[in-house]
Structure 1
Amino acid sequence: MRSSIRPLSGLRKGMVFDRRKTLVLFSLMCLLTGLAAGQVLPNVPAVMQPAFTDPALERARQLVESGEFQRAEADLRAYLSSNEHSASGRFLLAYTLMRLDRPKDSLGEYTLAAKLRTPSAEDLKNVALDYVLLNDYDDADNWMRRSLQMNSKDPDAWYGLGRIRYTKGRFQDAVECFQKALALEPRSVKAENNLGLAYEGLNRTDDAIAAYRKALQSEQDLGEQASKPPGEQPMLNLAIVLMHRGHFDEALLLLTRAVAIAPRDPKIREQLGHLYLHQGKLSDATQQFTQAVTLSPDNAALHFMLGQVYRRQGQDARARAEFARAAALNGSHSTPDRN
């Protein structure tokens, strides 16, 4: 069973984080501002963050929108040094820190911001994403559900909850979340693609294939309208399922398209290596696994597969070197025949 949904990030080494203390503090601030823990609130339509009337905040917002998060943080901290009770400034800084992959700092700012203003559904969704960054999927699930209690019409929140539940192995729940996202945004490629992954988790392969094909079709239609190239993930996921079913010709076409779009994705290189190995094209398989290892040098499985190809080619010294590297990365002394 594949786990193809990618968490945004892991907790950085050395980070000391008392998640329960922060959760309690944030819950308390929500309670003090009228958002009681577990309270079911009426649906509030989500709106885009409007332009700020304050010129300094508006400049920071524009920096965030353009992806200049470090500059936005510097400007916001300067602004808050003389406007410490600005709720808008605090919430914008909290979001900026999340985008900088600093979830602990972001949650701290959300806690301060919640003292000043009731958090919106969008704010709670971002709190959930902070917990995703910390690999704390239980709390992420909790806050994403709180966000949906405030605004059940947000397709991104349903998509986010689906990703969280997929990661927790709750595949049927994930299917239902992705379906709700698609009901609100029928041509969402990411929701359709992840619906396919959830179906795979339930061993509903035919449904998974249909979802991947629909994702590809939606992506093609949207790409033509926006003159954008398609993404590689639905191609990769569909190709893997087709390979499992023995449909190697179509899988090769998909993987060839995918690698042209994302030549530095080691997962695509790995699957091309498996396909060529199955076809007995050892030279092509060696090339793909070598590139996969170069792109992901700490992946023990890739070193092991490259060793297998070398061994089939009679290159025993190279095979032994790859097997030794795989064993070292696994922290074991297992032999290739026992893996």
Structure 2
Amino acid sequence: MEQLGKDEEATKAIERAIIFRPTDGTLWCNKGVIHLKCGDYVNALESFENALKIDSYDVSAWYHKGVLLKLRGKRNEAGYCFEKVKDLDPKFTPSSRCISPSDFPSVLLGSTRKRDNSGGKNSKKGIIRSVFCKNVFHTGITPEQKGRRMHIEGNLFDALKCYEKALKIDPEDPDLWFNKACVLQSIGKIADAKKCFKAALKLNSNDVLSLYNIGCIVQSQGNYVKALAYYDRASRIDSDYALIVRKKSEVEEIICKYRESKVTSPSVPF
């Protein structure tokens, strides 16, 4: 079912199997692959980490976790995962079942991020962790945890309040700024969302998703030259991300055609 693209059915089937075989690392890894393919980065990371808790020698889980972290701008942590892959299996080659950033969907907004304090280049907080940890539902959860839970459940206005409260506690967390931006984008506050994506980018200059989202916003506002600059910057950070490369090419073509036509239009500020 997974190979046929029936991701929802495949996920349900795997979840049913996990109930009976909760210590089967392969099931957890396969579940993570489907979530990653669908753009559900939070559940994907949780699944890969569960797989690695069961079997720390799972090459596929290390590889896909690395792909996810690379896309999120956590290049040091991603590099560690890929090094683990090399150490465990020097001859490992991604098969047709493995995925890369080019397989991700075009809708990138709305995922939530959480971090620990392990540190990371261009990020003061380190790697992403899972939202759906059991302690998220315990009493005494932090505003950050509550915000992510509300966000996942679609309670956007309450999630926004929680993120704002969390940012008062830790204004240097890029993932909080990113999550707040996603909520603002979802409720139509585009200008505020753009400011928050920029705040996330200031704290993590390798954040491909923030660069991409800012590019999408300025492109939707008709500023193709500025959008191209953001797409170009993102593609230089991660040249394997086919969606950004494609968006960059599309904008370049629009600009080229406009200049060739020599038509002046105040609605297209070149």
TM-score grouping bracket, smaller chain normalisation: 0.3 to 0.5
Q: Which has the higher helix share?
A: 1
Q: Given the two structures, how large is their TM-score scaled by the length of structure 2?
A: 0.47
- Of the two, which has the highest radius of gyration? 1
Q: Given the two structures, how large is their TM-score scaled by the length of structure 1?
A: 0.38
Instruction: Return the structure number with greater relative CO, CA threshold 8 A, min gap 6.
Output: 2
